């Protein structure tokens, strides 16, 4: 088995004086999808933001391909191959679709897929016809695809997705799941924050269930689907 591309060890994080994460550890290999499941406020988003370096106060070790990144500013973390797609998408609404993609562009990286706008328009055909449209004037589903495509322009080795299926129409969700499985097939590591077990069940290989900033359950998705007791105990199902 290959070495982990992302290792998180004993991660603590705070917002102001409030402790959000406690002693969180997990690891992720290339071509693998890990889902962080938990209720609202369990610490899923904070985990992703802490990995990217967007949480000011954190402690613990975060390694990307054996390189310690815990103290680095977000732009350095991103350049080491961590791509982050936030829950609220945060596309640049004043820029066109094409310009949004250009903003995400980073040099090619050895060992991971290299993306170009043309390739991404192939992956998300809906965006191809919108490339000169201001991104503030496309639909929510299109914005979600754009947010993912924009992050892929950085040629990440690890993709962090914060509740990507939230608020999308069922048909769009299906397409998204298929796309994410495709990315996994290309060797990307995916870290997914989800409240929706159905969506995570289709995409993820392994799961961490979080509650109050701690890992309560760690296992394979197959096992969880076979015996969903932990999910019933800790998720609002």
Partner 1 sequence: MSMAHLVVQLLSGLAAGSVLFLIASGLSIIFGVTRIVNFAHGSFTMLGAYLTIDLIGRLPDGGFGFWAAVGLAALVAGGLGVLLERLVLRRLYRSPELFPLLATFGVVLIVQDAALALWGPEDLLGPRAPGLTGTVLVLGLRFPVYDLFLIALGPVVLGLLRLVFHGTGWGTRVRAATEDPEMAAALGIDQHRLFTGVLFLGSALAGLGGALQVPREAITLQMDMATVIEAFVVVVIGGMGSLGGAFVAALLIGVLQAFGILAFPRIALVLVFLVMAVVLMLRPNGLFGRAEPAAGSHQALSQGSFAPPGPLARLVGGIALGLLALVPLAANDYSLIVLTEIFILALFAASLHFLLAVGGMVSFGHAAFFGLGAYGAALAVTGLDAAMLPALALAPLAAGLGAALVGALCVRLGGVYLAMLTLAFAQILWSIVFQWSSVTGGDNGLLGIWPEPWASGRAAYYWLTLVLCAGAMLGLRRLVAAPFGYALRASRDSALRAAAVGLPVDRLRWLAFALAGALAGLAGGLQAFAKGSVFPALLAVPTSVDGLVMVLLGGLEALSGPLVGAAVFHGLETEAMRGTGHWRLLLGAVILAMVLVCPSGLSGVVGRVAARLTGSARRP
Tell me which residues touch partner 1 (CB under 8 A). 52, 54, 73-75, 78-79, 84, 86, 90, 92-95, 99-100, 102-106, 150-151, 154
Which one, 86 or 213, has the nearer CB to partner 1? 86
Distance CA 46, CA 213 (A): 9
Shortest distance, position 87 Cβ to partner 1, whole Å: 12
CA dihedral 13, 161, 3, 153 (to 10 degrees): -120
Shortest distance, position 83 Cβ to partner 1, whole Å: 8
Which one, 79 or 175, has the nearer CB to partner 1? 79
Shortest distance, position 67 Cβ to partner 1, whole Å: 15
- For 55-91, give one letter per residue: b (16+ CB within 10 A) or e: beebebebbbbeeebbebeeeebbeebbbbbbbebeb
Distance CA 60, CA 92 (A): 32
Query: What are the distances in angstroms from CA 167 to CA 31, 50, 108, 196, 204?
Result: 26, 24, 32, 11, 19
- Beta strands 158-162 and 67-68, pairing class: unpaired
Distance CA 33, CA 28 (A): 8
**Nearest Cα to 214, choosing from 22, 8, 7, 46?**
22
Which one, 135 or 231, has the nearer CB to partner 1? 135
Shortest distance, position 20 Cβ to partner 1, whole Å: 17
Query: What are the distances in angstroms from CA 160 to CA 51, 96, 126?
Result: 9, 23, 22
Shortest distance, position 147 Cβ to partner 1, whole Å: 9
Which one, 54 or 123, has the nearer CB to partner 1? 54
Which one, 102 or 227, has the nearer CB to partner 1? 102
Which one, 38 or 104, has the nearer CB to partner 1? 104
Shortest distance, position 169 Cβ to partner 1, whole Å: 24
């Amino acid at each position: 088995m290959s070495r982990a591309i992302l290792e998180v060890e004993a991660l603590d994080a705070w917002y102001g004086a409030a402790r959000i994460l406690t002693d969180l550890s997990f690891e992720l290999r290339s071509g693998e999808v890990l889902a962080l499941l938990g209720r609202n406020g369990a610490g899923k988003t904070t985990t992703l933001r802490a990995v990217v370096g967007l949480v000011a106060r954190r402690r613990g070790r975060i390694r990307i391909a054996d390189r310690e990144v815990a103290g680095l500013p977000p732009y350095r973390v991103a350049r080491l191959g961590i791509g982050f797609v936030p829950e609220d998408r945060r596309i640049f609404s004043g820029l066109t679709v094409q310009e949004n993609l250009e903003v995400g562009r980073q040099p090619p990286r050895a060992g991971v897929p290299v993306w170009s706008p043309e390739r991404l328009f192939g992956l998300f055909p809906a965006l191809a016809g919108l490339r000169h449209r201001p991104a503030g004037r496309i639909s929510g589903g299109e914005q979600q695809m754009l947010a993912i495509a924009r992050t892929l322009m950085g040629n990440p080795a690890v993709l962090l997705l914060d509740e990507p299926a939230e608020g999308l129409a069922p048909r769009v969700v299906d397409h998204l799941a298929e796309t994410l499985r495709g990315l996994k097939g290309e060797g990307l590591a995916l870290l997914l924050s989800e409240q929706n077990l159905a969506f995570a069940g289709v995409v993820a290989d392994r799961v961490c269930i979080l509650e109050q900033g701690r890992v309560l359950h760690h296992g394979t998705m197959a096992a969880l689907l076979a015996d969903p007791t932990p999910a019933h105990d800790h998720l609002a199902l």
